[in-house]
Structures are given as C-alpha cells and as structure tokens.
Structure 1
Amino acid sequence: MPDFLIAYCGPAALPENLWVRWNADPLLIAVLAALAAVIASGRSSNARAGWSALALMFMVFVSPLCALSSALFSARVFHHVVLVAAVAPLFARAFPLRSLGYPPLAMVVAAHAVILWLWHAPGPYAWGLASVPAYWLMQLSLLGSAWLMWRAILAPAESFGPALVALVATVAQMGLLGAVIVFASVPLYPVHLASTLPWGLTPLADQQLAGLLMWVPAMLPYLAVGLYTAWASLRQSEPAL
C-alpha cells in the first residue's frame, strides 16, 4: 500500500483489529493534556464547550477513527466534518480571543471555503497524507480557518443577517463539494481496493459515501446554529410587554 496512506495514522485498519488501533502519539497526547489543563484552570470562556471540543478531538485523533481513516476516504471526510463543523465552533465558544479583533466575515468565510476545497482536491489531499508535517498542515489549516469563521459568526456584535448569510454560503459550498464527490464517475482519491474491500466497499462506493457525508449530515450544525440565531434575533425584536 502506498506510503501516503500510512504517514500518520498507520496502516489501514481492518474490521478485526479496528478496536485495538488507538493512536498513542506522545506529542499529540501532550498537546491534548495541555489543552485540558488550560480548560481546567478556568482560562476558557466556556468550559463546557472546551471539554466537548477536547472530547471530539480525542475521538478523531486518538480513537480508532484515525486508523479507519487510513482505510476509508469516507472516514477521513467524517473526520474533517467533525473538525470544521463541531470542534471549531466549540473552540470558538471556549476560546473566542476577542482581544485579537475580528477580520471581515466575508473574508474568513471565503478563506475557509478555499482551504476546504483545496484539501479535498485529489492532488493536495494525497500530498496532505504523504508525510506527518503535511498531515498536520492539513488538519491545522482546516481547524484554524473554521475557528476563525465560527468566532466571527458567533461574535456578540455580529448581526443576524450577515451571520445567516455566512452560514448559508458555507452550507452551499460544502454541499456543492459533496455533490462533486458523489457524482464523480471514477475514484478520485488515493484509496485502494485492498483497504476498502474488507469494509464491504469499493473505492467508488467509499467516495460516494464520503460525498454524502459532506453533502447532508455536515450541514446539520450550520442549520442548528442558523435556526438558533434566527430564534434569538426574533426574541430580541419582540416588544416588551
């Protein structure tokens, strides 16, 4: 199997060994422990959001999901969706870092979209898995750009209209990317029959499942935040009795 599939998460997981394939990278564990210490010390704006984000990071980087993403492109896409649509907004709540100021919302939404599409183009995707530094550049750029976008959307001073437009635009571009992946007639990504077949999938079926994950379930957090934002805006506009 090509080396780019095993640069960080190890060889492709098989059904019979998945649950013993935990990632015990000492540097990763140290970083997660440091984040836990920061949250426990009370230095986060929202401890519940911080602990939730940390638990999800443990799931995507330490749990057997990491090894499964070496076998299935759909598992890798699920990993990315969790990063940008769940971990990032939770970290935006836990660590908004308001003293840094807020770039224009349109700029951070566009930058995140470009980064998301770039890392899911076949060439950059394969390169992002080819070495440990490239892997972490992929992860940190996806998470960092999503955090910047979510902190701008969730900023206290942000009005309902621009925040809703940002959410709709993000759902639209992710849905379009998912559709491109679903309707591709040939496998585009470096996943091989030897890794997908034990899971009952061909490379093309695995790719189609990945596209569906990005097309439909990925939009749910954005929809939930949009509905909550709309409800909060309506509540604020109601006249006091």
Structure 2
Amino acid sequence: MAADLDGVAVLRLICGTLVLFLSGAAHAHDVAAPAPPAPGWTFEPWVVICLGLSALLYGVGLVRLWKKSGDGRAQLRRRACWFLGGWLALVAALVSPLDAMGTQLFSAHMLQHEAMMIVAAPLLVLGRPFALWMWGLPPGWRRPVAAAVRTGGVQAGWALLTMPVFAWLFHAAVLWLWHAPLLFEAALHSNAIHTLQHVSFLGSALLFWWAVLGDGGFRPQRGLSMLYIFTTMAHTGALGALLTWSGVVWYPSYIGAGEAFGMDALEDQQLGGLIMWVPGGLAYLIAGLALVSKWLGRPAPQGEGASRIV
C-alpha cells in the first residue's frame, strides 16, 4: 500500500516530531500550584496544540492517502479507528478532569498513567500515525524531510530504540524507577520533573508497544513477543501488588489530599495499586491473546517485513 512506501524513513523522521508532541503532552498541569477545590478540564496550551496538530496532520494525510488507496481503504479505516481511540485516550488522560484529580488522588494519577501507557500507546501504534503524518505534510516538505532522516546516525539511533529487548528493559526501568518514593515525590513538586516523568512513561510505552506490535507480531521469533508482554504483565502486577498490600504510605504528599473524596492516603494508594495490578494486567493479557489469535488465524506472509501491523 502507498502508506508503506517510505515507512522506515517516515518512522525515523517523526522521532523529532514525536519528541515535541511528548514534551508538550506531558506538561498537562502545574503540579506546584495549589490543588483546585473542584477538578475540571485543563486546557494547557501546549497540550491542546500538540493534540490538535497530531490529529490535523493525521486527518489531512488520511484524506490524501484515501484517494490513492483503492482496495487498501478498509485497512486505512481500521488504522484510523485505532488512532482515534488512542488520541481520545490521551485527551482523557491529559485534558479531562482526571488530570487535575491526579494532584489530589494517587489513584487518579495512576489511572492517568495507565491510560497513557496501556490504552493510548498501543492504540496509537496500531494506528500507524507516522506514515499518515508524512502524507499530511505540505507536498514540498516530504522529500527533504524524508532525506534528512535517512542519515546513518538517525537510522542507528532508531534501530537501537526499537530493538525489542532494549524497549522492554527501558520500559521496565522507567516504571520501577519513577514509582520509587523519592522520584515520584520529586515529580509531584516540580513541573520539570513531572514533565520528564510523563515523557518517559508515554515514550517508553510507545517504544514497547512498537516492539511488540509494530510489525503485527509477524516476526520470526513470535515467542519473544509473548515473553515481553507477559513478563511486563508480571512485573507491573508485582509493583501494583506492592502498592496494594503495603501498610505504609509511599508518597506523603497525598496524605490528607483525598479526604474530600472520602479516602485516606493508604486507601487511595491501595486503590492505585489495584488499578495497576488488575486492569493493567488484564490489558497485557488481552494484547497477548489477541496476538496469539492473529497468529493462529492467519499465517505470516512470506517476504513481508516490518511494514505490516495487526
């Protein structure tokens, strides 16, 4: 299909754009400001601009590519639905009242992170936004931009970032390090650290899901894809269980903050742990079963490289 003609180059190109998107999307609220009495929608300009630009580029690219796709329109429609679902999940995480509630409830903060990592990230990967964003650029920009990302350094960097074992280790390290009390507390009191936290959560999740889903699971070592999914489910479940069963409040900043919602800090922490443990684990299980079903239902096409997606 036409969208796949320059797919690898497009992916490397959009790395730079994606950094800007993640940086803007991560700074969703002022964590140092006093918590509002009634959490409402937060319209941080950079968040709205980045979300709007990503949707606009995708929409323009979809319209342009639709005219050239012919029999590939069903696949385009499916990918557009995936992208829309992921985009709406980011809106819910970064713009809806859930974002503001994250300053008052650890459980809400956890739900926000899970929405980014296990809902938005895999759906965005399945939506194949990179090629569509390229088609959304002005025609005169496409060739020079594509040429710029074909350099050896960019290619080597992208190869490392998307190496499955690296993406898996990086995502695991990000999850555990940021939930250490010292770092999590620092993120609650510094906008810069909070931005870095959200960038690393969403960015590492996108890399992880690309490693698992980026070629539709049709890599020669299918078993490794399943290993990455289920080991991630296991270690995130373990972290959630630790939060749930701990008798000590890990993050003192939430002490007293949840009283307006009828919860003390320990109950709030236990609810946040359960969100990571149960719904989070279920999402990984569903992804693993979906891949198995895909493999059993359709043999891997011969000669098809990393351009395929579920």
Please report the TM-score for the alignment, with normalisation by the length of structure 1: 0.87
Amino acid corresponding to residue 52 of structure 1 in structure 2: G
Residue 22 of structure 1 corresponds to 41
Verify the 8 A CA contact 1:112 1:146 in the aligned structure 2: yes
Amino acid corresponding to residue 30 of structure 1 in structure 2: I
Structure with bigger gyration radius: 2
Does residue 115 of structure 2 align to residue 82 of structure 1?
A: yes
Verify the 8 A CA contact 1:56 1:87 in the aligned structure 2: yes
Q: Which moved more, 1:152-161 or 1:116-125?
A: 152-161
Secondary structure at the counterpart of residue 61 of structure 2: coil
CA gap of 1:31–1:9, structure 2 versus 1, over 3 A, is farther
2: CA distance between counterparts of 1:150 and 1:115?
14
Aligned length: 229
Amino acid corresponding to residue 151 of structure 1 in structure 2: W
1:39 Cα deviation from its structure 2 partner: 1.5
Residue 208 of structure 1 corresponds to 270
1: CA distance between counterparts of 2:268 and 2:59?
40
1: CA distance between counterparts of 2:117 and 2:94?
14
Residue 50 of structure 2 corresponds to 31
Residue 133 of structure 1 corresponds to 192
CA gap of 1:61–1:190, structure 2 versus 1, over 3 A, is farther
Amino acid corresponding to residue 144 of structure 1 in structure 2: G
1: CA distance between counterparts of 2:45 and 2:31?
13
1:96 Cα deviation from its structure 2 partner: 6.6
Q: Which moved more, 1:65-74 or 1:159-168?
A: 159-168
1:42 Cα deviation from its structure 2 partner: 2.2
Amino acid corresponding to residue 233 of structure 1 in structure 2: W
Map Cα deviations across residues 12-61 of structure 1 (whole Å, 9 max, x no partner): 354xx23xx21121121111111111111126972222221111111111
1:206 Cα deviation from its structure 2 partner: 0.5
CA gap of 1:237–1:34, structure 2 versus 1, over 3 A, is closer
Does residue 192 of structure 2 align to residue 192 of structure 1?
A: no
Verify the 8 A CA contact 1:160 1:229 in the aligned structure 2: no
Amino acid corresponding to residue 107 of structure 1 in structure 2: F
1:117 Cα deviation from its structure 2 partner: 0.7
CA gap of 1:51–1:236, structure 2 versus 1, over 3 A, is closer
Secondary structure at the counterpart of residue 129 of structure 1: helix
Amino acid corresponding to residue 169 of structure 1 in structure 2: T
Residue 232 of structure 1 corresponds to 294
Verify the 8 A CA contact 1:7 1:129 in the aligned structure 2: no
1:129 Cα deviation from its structure 2 partner: 2.3
Residue 49 of structure 1 corresponds to 82
Residue 59 of structure 1 corresponds to 92
CA gap of 1:41–1:237, structure 2 versus 1, over 3 A, is closer
Does residue 112 of structure 2 align to residue 93 of structure 1?
A: no
2: CA distance between counterparts of 1:29 and 1:49?
20
1:115 aligned residue (168, 171, 174): 174
1:192 Cα deviation from its structure 2 partner: 3.5
1:11 Cα deviation from its structure 2 partner: 3.5
Secondary structure at the counterpart of residue 30 of structure 2: coil
Verify the 8 A CA contact 1:196 1:202 in the aligned structure 2: yes
Map Cα deviations across residues 150-195 of structure 1 (whole Å, 9 max, x no partner): 0110132424311111110100010010111112111011333432
Residue 3 of structure 1 corresponds to none
1:104 Cα deviation from its structure 2 partner: 2.7
CA gap of 1:30–1:121, structure 2 versus 1, over 3 A, is same
Amino acid corresponding to residue 176 of structure 1 in structure 2: A
1:130 Cα deviation from its structure 2 partner: 2.0
1:213 Cα deviation from its structure 2 partner: 0.7
Residue 207 of structure 2 corresponds to 148
Secondary structure at the counterpart of residue 43 of structure 2: coil
Secondary structure at the counterpart of residue 224 of structure 1: helix
2: CA distance between counterparts of 1:91 and 1:8?
27
**Unmatched runs of 5 consecutive residues or more in structure 2:** 1-28, 66-75, 132-154, 301-310
2: CA distance between counterparts of 1:237 and 1:50?
25
Residue 14 of structure 2 corresponds to none
Verify the 8 A CA contact 1:22 1:64 in the aligned structure 2: yes
CA gap of 1:95–1:234, structure 2 versus 1, over 3 A, is closer
Q: What is the Cα-based RMSD across aligned positions, in Å?
A: 2.3
1:97 Cα deviation from its structure 2 partner: 5.0
